[in-house]
Structure 1
Amino acid sequence: MTKSLFTFFIILFILSGCKSLQKTHQKDNSATAELQAELDSVQQQIDSLQLAIKDTIQTQKEVTLNTYPTKPDTISVIGVGDIMIGTNFPNEGYLPPDSGKYMLSSVAHVLRDADLTFGNQEGVILNEGGEAKSCSDPSVCYIFRSPEHLAQHYVDAGIDMMSLANNHAGDFGETGRKNTMRVLDSLGIHHAGQLAQPFTIFEHERIKYGFVAFSPNNGTQSINDLEAAKSLIHHLDTLSDIIIVSFHGGAEGKKYQHVTREREFFYGENRGNVYEFSHEMIDAGADIIFGHGPHVARAIEVYKNRFIAYSLGNFATYGRFNLRGESGLAPIAKIWITEDGSFVKGKIISAVQKGAGIPELDENHAAAQKIKELTEADFPESKILIDPEGNIRYIQDQF
């Protein structure tokens, strides 16, 4: 029997006694002050019990609310670009000092300030060994092997999801691929993009997310097979509330900052038509698209009320990357969406990589201004505006 029912029966018992006393009092005009005092005492007990029941009901309501929280009105999601926070190949001279402790510390408070945060893992997570890609001169061979202890910094910085679909995912063969997935799993970081795990589904604060990643590279889910990609999105759409897509695509370098809306090739490799791919994914049911691969920032777009970042460039790339000028910009895209995936507003938070590749916030807003410039050039029909500090909003008079 619950406490509230027990209390209810007690009150019935007291009330019945009270009524009996009242009847006796009515029949006997010689009722004494003692009987009246007894009645007053009973009434006080009733009042106390009623207060207790009210408190019990309120407590039960609070417990119910805490046990079954409502879905959030809006969801905040952060996306950043390429992350490689140190490699021990070809030697440990390419590892950051202090075991990488300060690699993400300057931006960690920003990355943690969202419901979910995404980044692209360049290279593998592996202490030693693996089947290194063939290279005649390791000193100029750009393959990346990050020791496992560095991955803890991803957790500390609030990173929740990582793409493993890129041209460095197979730098150390199957050993590297499998160990990278094992380490991320052990840290509770969701990952996608390898053929062994092209997508993942997880729940956060009563919202179910589908996360999938694509690239043009062997061993990853292909960006160039649109039918297979759409099939994956359709599948995730039956199981998820929000679908987040990552792609590694487009040509690399400062010459390739613009979205051409055409197929791009780089050193003979088909890097995909990222404009067509992104639109096809949203048409199929995707809600957010985070692009990377060119090592520079590109424009953003809102298509069918869904957010696309065509390239988030480099973010935290230590020791082996060209970070001069625009290659050193490290944009942080933060967006707010409704629970059905519709874009509400956003912000490009500007960071820049200092020294060998450590991201720090940039009060000059260079990354935001570059993305603003590229967006205005590549998408003149855009329904969004970006202000000089990186705030993104709809153009109100178009709605």
Structure 2
Amino acid sequence: MAQFPLSTVSLRRWLPWGLGGLTIITSLGILGFRHYQRQQVSFISTSVAISNSTLATIATDAAKAIAPISQTKTTVITLKAVGDMAPGTRYSKTPQVEQKMQMFAGVEGQLGWSDLLIGNLETTLTNHPYAAKDISRPNVFAFRTAPSYANLLKDAGFQALSIANNHTFDYGQTGFQDTQTTLADTGIAPIGVKNQIHYHQHKDLTVALIGFSTYQYHNMVQDLDAAVALVKEADAKADIIVISVHAGAEGTGANRVRPGTEWFFGENRGDLHKFSRTLIDAGADLIVGHGPHVLRAVELYQGRLIAYSLGNFVADGALSVASTLAESVILEVSMSSEGRFLKGKLHPVRLNGQGFPFYDATGTAIKRMQQLTQRDFPETPLTIQADGQLLPRTL
């Protein structure tokens, strides 16, 4: 008579090829199929003798139990993401209605055709007149946008926007609350409110969206224990977990990814490398970075994609578009129902003098990300092709 301990197998992490790769390991004598719930299959083993015919029956019954679920699950979801946006701020050089309506005209074709479109809103949507910062000091800015601009963002296709960054409290708690309310009333989910997870439903898949920044009034990058706890909470309810994170140093010299804490103007801007890998280890499936205002490398880690910075996407007079600060991408990612990276694409973008995004047929941003990825993650199992295609590869 064989003795077998209680064991739980998580197919979501253990089987990179999904439910179809389920194997009953006869030498271990796994006895029975108990339940399946959101890619979690538990096998209960007890102390009994098992014959080969019994094992065959168990394997057949388990496969039958799983098959209806795997057949009905949506197999692929495609997400698009962009970086920092500061549309219509008080520093805007193009406030006229007829001009702001053209804000996304140059990338209309690239923004379309996805199941979920997200970005980072680096401003406030409020009419509150009092800034919470002393903007008379050097390098201190307070961004404010007319609430009506939310309609432009909605019309462009955005379904969720991160409000976890260093400008969403520029007009205090009032401005932050106004931004949340305005987005929600427009039909755009605000993500990044402290201790909150947004759940987005795509067909039969539940996608959890969590926003982080380096400030304690948001979900905080530096607090890894709290971040992991949020991911685990989401993992119990969602099929796929997407992290939007605003962190890292800023400017043309901040395009490299290195382990360790990054600092900018004396502020702790987090260890984005450690944060990203830790959250994927905890159950996250995609990390979308922004904040440095320049492009950074991409990495494939544990079969999940990390985009360390997507650069500026809408500057509109508030953000600089000098040199490499004008280079941007629209990131496209296709994932399996278990969250595994299948393929992707970098749609190259360049910001014009107004700070509006336009598709860049020269592909400068693709070449930049190829170079950065080769420098920072030369062994990552990811290929960036000349046309921007992202494909996993075997080392």
1:1-399 map, 5 Å:
70-88=72-90, 93=93, 95=95, 97-98=97-98, 100-136=100-136, 141-195=140-194, 198-396=196-394, 398=395
Question: How much does 1:221 deviate?
Answer: 1.1
* Matched letter for residue 338 of structure 1: S
Q: Distance in 2 between matches of 1:298 and 1:256?
A: 8
Amino acid in structure 1 at the alignment position of 2:200: F
The one-letter amino acid of 1:115's match is D
C-alpha contact 1:108 1:156 (8 A) present in aligned 2? no
Aligned-residue sequence identity (percent) comes to 35
CA positional deviation for 1:131? 4.0
Q: Tell me by how many angstroms 1:95 deviates.
A: 2.7
SS in structure 2 of the partner of residue 350 of structure 1: strand
Give me the whole-angstrom Cα distance separating, in 2, the residues matched to 1:287 and 1:96.
40
Deviation at 1:279, TM superposition (A): 0.4
Q: 1:231 and 1:137, CA in 2 relative to 1: closer, same or farther beyond 3 A?
A: closer
**Residue 242 and residue 118 in structure 1: after superposition, are their counterparts in 2 closer, same or farther (change >3 A)?**
same
Instruction: Say whether the 8 Å CA contact 1:369–1:389 is kept in structure 2.
Output: no
Return the offset for 1:154.
Answer: 1.0
Q: Secondary structure at the match of 1:208?
A: strand
2:109 aligns to what SS in structure 1?
A: helix
Cα distance in 2 for residues equivalent to 1:331 and 1:352: 8
Quote the Cα distance in structure 2 between the aligned partners of 1:332 and 1:102: 18
- Take 2:96 and 2:230, find their aligned partners in 1: how far apart are those partners? 38
Gaps of 5+ in 2: 1-70
The 1:96–1:278 alpha-carbon spacing in structure 2 relative to 1, beyond 3 Å, is farther
In 1, the alpha carbon distance for the partners of 2:151 and 2:287 equals 26
Contact 1:247/1:291, CA 8 A, preserved across alignment: yes
How far apart, in 2, do the equivalents of 1:212 and 1:96 lie?
A: 34
| TM-score of the pair, normalised by structure 1 | 0.78
> Does the aligned pair in 2 maintain the 1:87–1:94 contact within 8 Å?
no
Rounded to whole Å, the distance in 2 between the matches of 1:202 and 1:349 is 24
Supply the AA of the counterpart residue of 1:386: I
- Preserved CA contact (<8 Å) 1:159 1:189: yes
C-alpha distance in 2 between matches for 1:96 and 1:117:
26
Per the TM alignment, residue 263 of structure 1 is displaced from its structure 2 partner at its CA by 1.1
Q: Is the 8 A contact 2:128 2:174 kept in 1?
A: no
Code of the residue aligned with 2:83 in structure 1: it is G
AA paired with 2:90?
Answer: N
Q: Deviations over 1:349-388 (max 9, x none)?
A: 0010012201000000111110111001100111011012
Cα distance in 2 for partners of 1:125, 1:215 equals 18
Letter in 2 for 1:331: V
Q: Distance in 2 between matches of 1:117 and 1:326?
A: 24
Say if 1:350 and 1:363, in contact at 8 Å, map to a contact too: yes
Cα distance in 1 for residues equivalent to 2:184 and 2:326: 30
Deviation at 1:110, TM superposition (A): 1.8
What letter corresponds to residue 153 of structure 1 in structure 2? L
Structure of larger gyration radius: 1
Runs of 4+, deviation exceeding 4 Å: none
3-state secondary structure, aligned to 1:107: helix
Deviation of the 1:126 alpha carbon: 1.1
The CA distance in 2 between the partners of 1:309 and 1:391, in whole Å, is: 14
Partner deviation per Cα, 1:52-78 (whole Å, 9 max, x = no partner):
xxxxxxxxxxxxxxxxx9543211111
Post-superposition shift, 1:256? Answer: 1.3
Gaps of 5+ in 1: 1-68
Task: Report the aligned-residue RMSD.
Answer: 1.8
Q: TM-score, normalised by structure 2?
A: 0.79
How much does 1:130 deviate?
4.3
| Structure 1 position 198, deviation (Å) | 3.2
Determine the C-alpha separation between the residues in 2 that align with 1:239 and 1:266: 36
- Aligned partner letter, 1:182: T
